[in-house]
Structure 1
Amino acid sequence: MGPAQERHYLEFASARAGHLYRSACLLTGGDTHRAEDLVQETLGRMFVTWRRIKQVDNPAGYAQTVLVRTFLTQQRRRSSTERPTGEFPDLPEARRGDPSLRLTLLDALAELPAKDRAVLVLRYWEDRSVAETAGAMQVSENAVRTRCVRALQKLRGHLGGSLAEYAA
């Protein structure tokens, strides 16, 4: 890779790292250490194939796809479901919102299976279409719709019958 390509990659990685990290935190159920590892592996994979990726229409979307696929691969490989506990990072005052709501939602997401979490993050956090989500997860559009409905039902079950108490 030449200096110009390397500089272009570094600019891309710097611009997308924060967004990738936020998505990774949601995918990992708030485990910031795993989220950091997931982003690092995603950016590493992007670096190795950067020449080919530059020809893709939407490198940012491709990075999100790599992130989700890497997460799902790691989930399949995990021999243990143990999660180390840690503290959530301090957020700027303007982005804090309601900490109990944030923790409740992260706990509920963490209770969902990996593929359910992935479909909810892609559809509602990343605001992707059903077709884009299906492409990222390498499943049919009908599978995305079905999994999305079931994942939302599970999430509602974890959050309780009334979501009104969580709404601002």
Structure 2
Amino acid sequence: MKGTDREAAYVDYVTARRAHLRRIAYALCGDWHRADDLLQIALVKLYVAWPRVRRAGSEDAYVRKILVRASIDEARRPWRRERVTDDLPEHPAPEPTGVEERTALFDALQALPTQQRAAVVLRHWLGLSVAETAAELGINEGTVKSHTSRGLTALRLNLEPNTTG
């Protein structure tokens, strides 16, 4: 494949899949700015490996794996463990209207540990099988099942309406 053909195929793929991949990155990290960073990391790595990945026909799987691994790496960084204080910014971001349930779901997702969140997103948002999820995360199928089960249980508990009162 010529260099110009290679680049054209890469650009076509990125143009067609960028929005979808960005939403996956957002689901993994819960922040649009971090999602953009994760996507940028993934697209750079995809570009480097493009001929091999394109030949194998596994572009989406390759990018998803990079997104998950980059998200886990970023979550492990010491500055990611810092907690928000009570000090609010002068101009808070406006709340989007009509997306309360989706916001609650994403908040509940972000409360999950990184591996549980990745397992839930890959299994139930992207619809990957247990085996595919295990391959993408580099863990055993049984571990995927336990992460998914624990994650879904935590989501249910976080999303149930408070019946005490």
TM-score by length of 1: 0.83
**8 Å Cα contact 1:21-1:36 kept in structure 2:** yes
How far has the Cα of 1:88 moved from its partner? Answer: 7.5
Q: Which moved more, 1:38-47 or 1:65-74?
A: 65-74
Q: C-alpha offsets along residues 50-107 of structure 1, whole Å, 9 cap, x if unaligned?
A: 12212223212221122112211222234332478974897xxxxx8x4110111111
Q: State the one-letter code of the partner of 1:59.
A: E
Tell whether 2:66 aligns with 1:66: yes
**8 Å Cα contact 2:109-2:155 kept in structure 1:** yes
Q: C-alpha offsets along residues 124-163 of structure 1, whole Å, 9 cap, x if unaligned?
A: 111000000000000000100011101111111211268x
Relative distance call for 1:131 and 1:89 in structure 2 (3 A) is: farther
Runs of at least 4 residues off by over 6 Å: 83-86
Give 1:131's aligned residue. Answer: 131
Relative distance call for 1:83 and 1:150 in structure 2 (3 A) is: same
Relative distance call for 1:53 and 1:113 in structure 2 (3 A) is: same
Distance in structure 2 (CA, Å) of the matches to 1:33 and 1:55: 31
Tell whether 2:121 aligns with 1:121: yes
Give 2:12's aligned residue. Answer: 11
Tell whether 2:27 aligns with 1:23: no
Give 1:152's aligned residue. Answer: 152
Q: Structure 1: give runs of 5+ residues left out of the alignment.
A: 91-95, 163-168
**8 Å Cα contact 1:32-1:88 kept in structure 2:** no
Identity across matched positions, percent = 36
**8 Å Cα contact 2:61-2:136 kept in structure 1:** no
Greater RCO structure (CA 8 Å; 6+ sep): 1
How many residues matched? 155
Give 1:165's aligned residue. Answer: none
Give 1:93's aligned residue. Answer: none
Alignment of 1:33-48 (within 5 A): 33-48=33-48
Relative distance call for 1:128 and 1:155 in structure 2 (3 A) is: same
Relative distance call for 1:39 and 1:161 in structure 2 (3 A) is: same
- Please provide the CA RMSD for this pair: 2.3
Alignment of 1:76-155 (within 5 A): 76-82=76-82, 87=93, 98-155=98-155
**8 Å Cα contact 1:42-1:66 kept in structure 2:** yes
Q: State the one-letter code of the partner of 1:104.
A: A
How far has the Cα of 1:110 moved from its partner? Answer: 1.1
**8 Å Cα contact 1:116-1:148 kept in structure 2:** yes
Q: State the one-letter code of the partner of 2:134.
A: A
**8 Å Cα contact 1:123-1:130 kept in structure 2:** yes
**8 Å Cα contact 2:28-2:118 kept in structure 1:** yes
